[in-house]
């Protein structure tokens, strides 16, 4: 299923220090059937966990944002991707990572997707039975310059 679920990200190529760093995250379903994707630990739910690996000039930056702990997911925590459709979200990375220093920043989605299924009846999966899915998501880069 991984080759039929595509992940892409984008950020502005160049930003001034102190400017918002807005990342657009998109999941696209290339299959002929609907996919049900748990939004947790993805930008589709916002920036609520350490879901990115961010480096500045090769040095890893710590995550300083919220960390959510939860019980089992409800069906409402899943995003339905119809055949050929996409789900997209924008998150402001400088709310959780330090982008104040000039330099070259690399951003990678940590993954995997925590639960993906093709059957609505399996949403949500019983506790302890999720179907995680590794999805390739090419890293993006931006350069932060002094104002």
Fold for 2-145, please state it.
Answer: Immunoglobulin-like (2.60.40)
Tokens 């949403």 appear where?
Answer: 123
Tokens 């992940």 appear where?
Answer: 7
Is the pLDDT reported for residue 2 higher than 80? no
Mean pLDDT confidence for 16-21? 96
Of 81 and 69, the structure prediction assigns the larger pLDDT to 81
Is the pLDDT reported for residue 91 higher than 80? yes
Instruction: Tell me the per-residue pLDDT of 117-143, one tens digit each, with 9 for 90 and over.
Output: 999 999 998 888 899 999 989 999 999
Tokens 């290339």 appear where?
Answer: 30
pLDDT of residue 128: 81
Give the pair of three-digit tokens for residue 145: 């310059």
Instruction: Please tell me the distance from the alpha carbon of residue 51 to that of residue 16, in angstroms, as a whole number.
Output: 24
* Domain boundaries of the chain, sorted by first residue: 2-145
Local confidence band at 1 (pLDDT 50, 70, 90 cut-offs): low
Q: Which residues of 105-128 are buried (b: 16+ CB within 10 A; e: fewer)?
A: bbbebebebbbbbeeeebbbbeee
Instruction: Tell me the per-residue pLDDT of 37-48, one tens digit each, with 9 for 90 and over.
Output: 999 999 999 999
Instruction: Please tell me the distance from the alpha carbon of residue 111 to that of residue 117, in angstroms, as a whole number.
Output: 16
The residues that bridge with 140 in the sheet, in sequence order, are: 107
Is there a contact between 132 and 115 (Cβ–Cβ < 8 Å)? Answer: yes
Number of other CB atoms surrounding residue 131 within 10 Å: 15
Is the pLDDT reported for residue 107 higher than 80? yes
Number of other CB atoms surrounding residue 141 within 10 Å: 11
- Percent of the chain residues past pLDDT 90, beyond the cut: 88
Is the pLDDT reported for residue 102 higher than 90? yes
Instruction: Please tell me the distance from the alpha carbon of residue 55 to that of residue 46, in angstroms, as a whole number.
Output: 20
Local confidence band at 63 (pLDDT 50, 70, 90 cut-offs): very high
Mean pLDDT confidence for 50-67? 96
Q: Is the pTM of this model over 0.85?
A: yes
pLDDT of residue 99: 96
């Amino acid at each position: 299923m991984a080759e039929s679920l595509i992940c892409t990200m984008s950020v502005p190529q160049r930003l001034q220090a102190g400017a918002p760093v807005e990342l657009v995250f998109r999941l696209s379903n290339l299959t002929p059937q609907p996919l049900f994707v748990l939004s947790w630990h993805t930008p589709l739910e916002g920036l609520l966990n350490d879901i990115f690996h961010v480096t500045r000039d090769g040095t890893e930056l710590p995550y300083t944002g919220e960390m959510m702990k939860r019980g089992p997911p409800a069906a409402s925590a899943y995003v339905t991707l119809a055949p050929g459709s996409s789900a997209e979200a924008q998150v402001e990375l400088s709310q959780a990572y330090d982008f104040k220093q000039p330099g070259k920043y690399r951003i990678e989605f940590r993954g995997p997707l925590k639960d993906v299924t093709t059957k609505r009846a399996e949403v949500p999966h019983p506790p302890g039975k999720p179907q995680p899915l590794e999805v390739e998501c090419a890293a993006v880069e931006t350069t932060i310059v002094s104002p």
